[in-house]
Amino acid sequence: MTTFANLDVPALLAELTLEEKASLCSGADFWNTKAVERAGVPAVMVTDGPHGLRKQAAVADHVGLDDSVPATCFPPAVALGSSFDADLVERVGQALGAETRAESVAVLLGPGINIKRSPLCGRNFEYLSEDPLVSGVLGAALVRGIQTAGVGACVKHFAVNNQETDRARVSAEVDERTLREIYLAGFERVVTEAKPWMVMCSYNKVNGTYASQHPWLLTDVLRTEWGFDGVVVSDWGAVNDRVAALRAGLDLQMPATGGHVTDAEIVAAVRAGELDEAVLDRAAERILTLLARSLSAPREREGFNVAGHHTLARDAAADCAVLLKNEPALLPLDSAGTETIAVIGEFARTPRYQGAGSSQVNPTRLERAWNAIRETVGDRAVFAAGFGIEDSADDETLRAEAVEAARGADVAVLFLGLPASYESEGFDREHILLPASQTALLAAVAEVNSNVVVVLSNGATVQVSDWSHHAAAILEGWLLGQAGGDAIADLLFGRANPSGRLAETIPLRLSDNPSYLNFPGELGVVRYGEGVFVGYRGYDAREQEVSYPFGHGLSYTSFEYSDLEVTVDSEQGVSVAATVTNTGSRAGKEVVQLYVSPPASAAARPVRELKAFAKVALEPGESRRVQLALTRRDLSYFHPGKGRWVFEGGEYGIAVGASSRDLRLSATVTVASSEPVEPLAEDASLQEWLAHPVGSRLLQERLAAAGPSLLTDPHMHAVVGNFPLARLATFPGMPLTPAEVEDLRKAAR
Ligand code: BGC
């Protein structure tokens, strides 16, 4: 067989026939590419992803119905996003890569980094955040980690796949500024910083064109602007017109099509002169390069460290859970004390630890919180199911038993959450409420016991405003992977200190969400009407009260912020430093968040945006100076008319704190714009003339020479200032003519 380590890809390509090249461009089955045995080209396997390996038999389905090989089920993206910890996420990526390689798989189909536009998206558990910085930084960390093992990562779903409703056809209608600033920004960071081997296009259309055949997305932006040099693969079944897709930049169609008809379509198009063979060569060359990359790493089945990865999954899970509330400080519970604990809720015994669909992993082990609690405190804990996960006929009996257990205990720990049937790949949720049986149980328990802790298991935001007053403490556990049960016990008893932060806002109610009136769209179209005001950007702009803001999360210790220092550096970037001190009595981790507020701007910009963050571990009493750097691009907005990022001068607000609404230190800094002065347009308004450095001087001189007029009256500047000067000049009695305006305009260049 050809050795791929030092393969001369162009030479191999030149040896292949037209049919062989076309055959490389689609799968052999669900998970493998096609070999070209005559030329020594092997097949490779690609498979899901993202939070564990899901390797099925080649003929199996792709949505999780058939079992796959055992693999570590790490915390899914909804949890990893809340870690705000790029180092941790990279270590998880390394373990994912090692398992992928151990199973001789070439590419792991993840991470998914789509923005959580609405809490209703059925697949939010597979995505990291409502914020593109968090999605991009953590997505890049996953890709880096995975690829250190000599296997590829495949970042998905490119792009604007933010809902499951009609996902295979819907057209996401988004203006370019919003695309660039919100929906593409995470992909841009992952592609430019971590260089994934693969990008998966999404099923949906973007502004009317299928993502799978979108030349602007797949070629102009992804390759020309961002320098992507890997393979673009279709989402499974996303190709609509194979030849158009190839032309647009989609290299590999997955899975196989029956009878490989689309390979034949490519061949026919080349023969008919409708498709330049060079386009096919380009795709085939990229696929050969992927094989070369993958096969140059050793591929022997070497197994992986099952116990070590389980421990990593447990440590990671403990760093992902978010302590929303602890008032009065009921947590941590005392593992050596005498208090009795009623553990209530079926989820303590039957954990929900991952979401359903193509990402569903067959875990190597599964820990249950109830077992871990029992191991910690023995007979001091009793269990009552309280409810059936998928509503059961015995709910009233189960509730009565649970209330009795709570009545007799010092503390009641309730495990509440979303049944698996509430959220999955393939459909969106209709509401964000917990099942009524669970909230009724909580209310009944709270009547007999005032020391209530709620532990949540859910793949996406649930409303808490209707029941949070019943709980002294709330631990948002999201879906924590196979070791989540142990991690929850670690957190409840203080063996671990909560350090997760919300990567998505918890609104008071669903209808507060910025996308509410435009989700999931209608008649084949979903209009992204809220523009850049997604998630906290929208809640903040409308000054809405929320249950828990973006970035929020408590700890068993406390942190103080001091000594903010902001410096504008020579490249007009900004360096920010602040000191964080652990002022409590336990070791803990703080997520230092840096938010930037824009100057007075020509564009409608969010009140503040997260532009940098760092997670720091501190012993009691320890301080650390945290340095965060902002580039010019971090301060810019995307100007669709100019087709580029614009960096405006002015006063920027810089705030550092513990959440988007807990800003501890702030400063303003004046930064000069480096924008070239734009020439005045033919239809420049009077106000634009007066704001233009040269035009204003020339105009004022000309007007002064003509004596007082409507145009020299400041009041009139406000009233007619938004009229084009050239048009004002046509009015009777004006001190200058349209021709003179044009002369001045030329002189002002
Ligand atoms: C999903 C992808 C997944 C693929 C293969 C699709 O339905 O959208 O995320 O990688 O199937 O299972």
Residue closest via CA to ligand 1's atom 2 equals 235
pLDDT at 692: 93
Nearest atom in ligand 1 to 167's CA: 8
> Considering the entire predicted model, what is its pTM?
0.96
Characterize the bridge pairing of strands 452-457 and 473-476. Answer: parallel
Mean pLDDT along residues 527-540:
98
Q: Roughly what angle, to the nearest 10 degrees, separates helices 132-147 and 86-102?
A: 40
How far is Cα 290 from Cα 46, in angstroms, rounded to an integer?
11
Residue 712 to residues 386, 680, 691, 726, Cα–Cα distance (Å): 78, 20, 15, 16
Residue 140 has pLDDT above 70, yes or no: yes
Q: Is the pLDDT of residue 36 over 70?
A: yes
Distance 156 CA to ligand 1 centre (A): 9
Q: Which residues contact 287 (CB under 8 A, 6 or more apart)?
A: 24, 25, 33, 231, 251, 252
Question: What does the block give as tokens for 86?
Answer: 């790029």
Mutate to test the pocket of ligand 1, among 51, 61, 62 (most ligand atoms within 8 A of CB): 62
For residue 391, pLDDT over 80 is answered with no
Give 456-523 as a DSSP string: EE-SS----TTTGGG-SEEEE-----TTHHHHHHHHHTTSS------SS-EESSGGGSTTGGGSS-BT
The answer to whether residues 710 and 716 touch, using CB atoms and an 8 Å cutoff, is yes
- Residue 295 near residue 152 (C-beta atoms within 8 A): no
- In the predicted model, what is the mean pLDDT of residues 295-313? 86
Residue 273 pLDDT > 50, yes or no?
yes
pLDDT, position 716: 86
pLDDT band, residue 267 (cuts 50/70/90): very high
> Which residue's CA is the nearest one to ligand 1's atom 7?
236
Q: Indicate if 713 belongs to the active site.
A: no
Atom number, ligand 1, closest to the C-alpha of residue 154: 10
> For residue range 492-529, what is the model confidence (pLDDT) as tens digits?
999 999 999 999 999 999 999 999 999 999 999 999 99
Give the closest residue (by CA) to ligand 1 atom 9: 358
Cα 317 to ligand 1 centroid, rounded to whole Å = 24
* Cβ atoms of 530 and 518 closer than 8 Å: yes
Phi, psi of 702 (to 5 degrees): -65, -40
Atom of ligand 1 at shortest range from CA of 202: 8
Q: Which amino acid residue places its CA nearest to atom 8 of ligand 1?
A: 235
The answer for 571, left when phi > 0, alpha when psi is -120 to 50, beta otherwise, is: alpha
Confidence of residue 1 (pLDDT cuts 50, 70, 90): very low
Closest CA to 72 of 51, 87, 55: 51
Place of tokens 């193509």: 358
- Cα(58) to centroid of ligand 1, in Å? 15
Contact 198, 46 (CB under 8 A): yes
* Rounded Cα gap, residues 560 and 279, in angstroms: 58
**What pLDDT shows up at residue 67?**
80
How many Å lie between the centroid of ligand 1 and the Cα of residue 38? 31
pLDDT at residue 2 is higher than 70: no
Residue 60 has what pLDDT? 60
* Ligand 1 centroid – CA 171 distance (Å): 19
Q: Which of 235, 263, 490, 540 is catalytic?
A: 235
State the Cα angle at 516 between 515 and 522, rounded to 5°: 90
The dihedrals phi and psi of 561, each to the nearest 5 degrees, come to -110, 140
The pLDDT value recorded for residue 63 is 60
Give residue 392's pLDDT.
77
Interatomic CA distance for residues 416 and 520, integer angstroms = 27
Question: What string of DSSP letters covers 610-678?
Answer: EEEEEEEEE-TT-EEEEEEEE-TGGG-EEETTTTEEE---EEEEEEEEEETTEEEEEEEEEE---PPPP
For range 548-562, the mean pLDDT: 98
Residue 322 confidence (pLDDT): 99
Place of tokens 């902001």: 566
Q: Which residues line ligand 1 (CB under 6 A)?
A: 48-49, 62, 109, 156, 235-236, 358
Confidence of residue 7 (pLDDT cuts 50, 70, 90): confident
How much of the chain, in percent, has pLDDT values that exceed 70?
97
Which position has the token pair 């005001």?
533
Nearest CA to ligand 1 atom 11: 236
531: pLDDT confidence band, cut at 50, 70 and 90? very high
Identify which has the larger pLDDT, 193 or 394: 193
* Mean pLDDT estimate for the chain: 95
Q: What phi, psi does 609 have (nearest 5°)?
A: -135, 140
Question: What is the position in ligand 1's atom list of the atom closest to the CA of 49?
Answer: 10
Can you say whether the dihedral through the CA atoms of 464, 469, 471, 475 is positive or negative? positive
Q: Please give the distance, rounded to the nearest whole angstrom, from the Cα atom of residue 682 to the centre of ligand 1.
A: 51
Size of the chain in residues: 749
Work out which ligand 1 atom sits closest to the CA atom of 112: 9
How much distance in Å is there from the Cα of 62 to the middle of ligand 1? 7
Residue to probe by mutation, ligand 1, list 109, 125, 253, most atoms within 8 Å of CB? 109
Q: Which of 51, 114, 163, 235 to mutate to test the pocket of ligand 1 (most atoms within 8 A of CB)?
A: 235
Label each residue of 80-109 as H, E or C: HHHHCCHHHHHHHHHHHHHHHHHCCCCEEC
Whole-number pLDDT of residue 62:
63
Measured in whole angstroms, how far is the alpha carbon of residue 304 from the centre of its chain? Answer: 28
**Whole-angstrom distance, CA of residue 164 vs CA of residue 174:** 17
Closest ligand 1 atom to residue 48 Cα is: 10
Percentage of the chain exceeding pLDDT 90: 91
Give the model's pLDDT for residue 470. Answer: 98
pLDDT tens per residue across span 684-715: 999 999 999 999 999 999 999 988 888 888 88
Q: What is the mean pLDDT of residues 101-119?
A: 97
pLDDT at 116 over 80: yes
Question: Ligand 1 centroid vs 31 CA: distance in angstroms?
Answer: 11
The neighbour count for residue 365, using CB atoms within 10 Å, is 15
